[in-house]
Chain A
Amino acid sequence: DAGITQSPRHKVTETGTPVTLRCHQTENHRYMYWYRQDPGHGLRLIHYSYGVKDTDKGEVSDGYSVSRSKTEDFLLTLESATSSQTSVYFCALGAGELFFGEGSRLTVL
């Protein structure tokens, strides 16, 4: 199994607060992804990275930013969380076989 860790696994926050989710890998994969999973929508791509400091937007990137300053870490930031960003967030990596993190459940009150 690929070493991929998400933190925090669960977070409850209030509208307007900043939130950062971290994805850490030990496999030296070039490609890393952030997805959100919502009932009725399946998994949707927020942002992805194809190398250090190389990132691009996905289909639901509004309200989110990312950073990748080193290969092993891909951070997802909600600058000012809203209730519509309540979701389960998955990090994934790989460009052939895929590996997913365990998910981070975020609740914005």
Chain B
Amino acid sequence: KNEVEQSPQNLTAQEGEFITINCSYSVGISALHWLQQHPGGGIVSLFMLSSGKKKHGRLIATINIQEKHSSLHITASHPRDSAVYICAVVEGAQKLVFGQGTRLTINP
């Protein structure tokens, strides 16, 4: 079973700062997801990656398959980015293994 580790577990930053959240996993995968969960519970898919890099607005996700590592970056962070960010890896027949999440707080 894949072990998915996220770091840091909690992160507090000031508005405007560049944010990096890391995800490492132990076994080879076919794809990796980054998810966002706001207080109140809804979970939204941000990215699905199998190689390289993807960008959407101020969010950038990268993955290094050889090193079994992915990062989520947020540029020019804003208080509305405050949420829990969850990494999930795809094993086998579309089964996901989740990290425990990184709680991000952006202060104005």
A88-B45 contact, Cβ under 8 Å, with A31-B94, A42-B98: no
Evaluate contact between A43 and B98: CB separation under 8 angstroms.
Answer: yes
A90 nearest CB neighbor, chain B only:
B43
Chain A 80-95 against B: per-residue CB contact (8 Å), 1 yes, 0 no? 0000000010101001
- Considering the chains assembled together, what is the distance between the CA atoms of A59 and B48 in angstroms? 22
Chain A positions within 8 Å of B35 at CB level: 98, 100
List 13 A-B pairs, Cβ < 8 Å: A31-B94, A41-B100, A42-B86, A42-B100, A43-B96, A43-B98, A45-B95, A50-B94, A59-B1, A90-B43, A98-B48, A100-B42, A102-B42
Chain B positions within 8 Å of A48 at CB level: 94-95
- Interface set of B (CB-CB < 8 Å, partner A): 1, 33, 35, 41-45, 48, 86, 88, 93-96, 98-101
- Considering the chains assembled together, what is the distance between the CA atoms of A40 and B9 in angstroms? 11
- Considering the chains assembled together, what is the distance between the CA atoms of A42 and B102 in angstroms? 10
Evaluate contact between B45 and A98: CB separation under 8 angstroms.
Answer: yes
Q: How many residues of A contact B (CB 8 A)?
A: 23
Chain A positions within 8 Å of B44 at CB level: 100
Most chain B CB neighbours (cut-off 10 Å) among A43, A95, A96? A43
- Considering the chains assembled together, what is the distance between the CA atoms of A50 and B94 in angstroms? 9
- Considering the chains assembled together, what is the distance between the CA atoms of A101 and B44 in angstroms? 9
- Considering the chains assembled together, what is the distance between the CA atoms of A77 and B1 in angstroms? 26
Chain B positions within 8 Å of A98 at CB level: 33, 35, 45, 48, 96
* Cβ-defined partner of A96 (8 Å) among B41, B48, B98: B48
- In the assembled complex, the CB of B85 is this many whole angstroms from the nearest CB of chain A, namely 12
Q: Is A62 an interface residue (CB 8 A)?
A: no
- In the assembled complex, the CB of A60 is this many whole angstroms from the nearest CB of chain B, namely 12
A97-B42 contact, Cβ under 8 Å, with A42-B86, A43-B98, A48-B95: no
- Considering the chains assembled together, what is the distance between the CA atoms of A92 and B86 in angstroms? 15
Chain B positions within 8 Å of A92 at CB level: 43
A95-B94 contact, Cβ under 8 Å, with A88-B41, A100-B42, A103-B41: yes
Evaluate contact between A50 and B93: CB separation under 8 angstroms.
Answer: yes
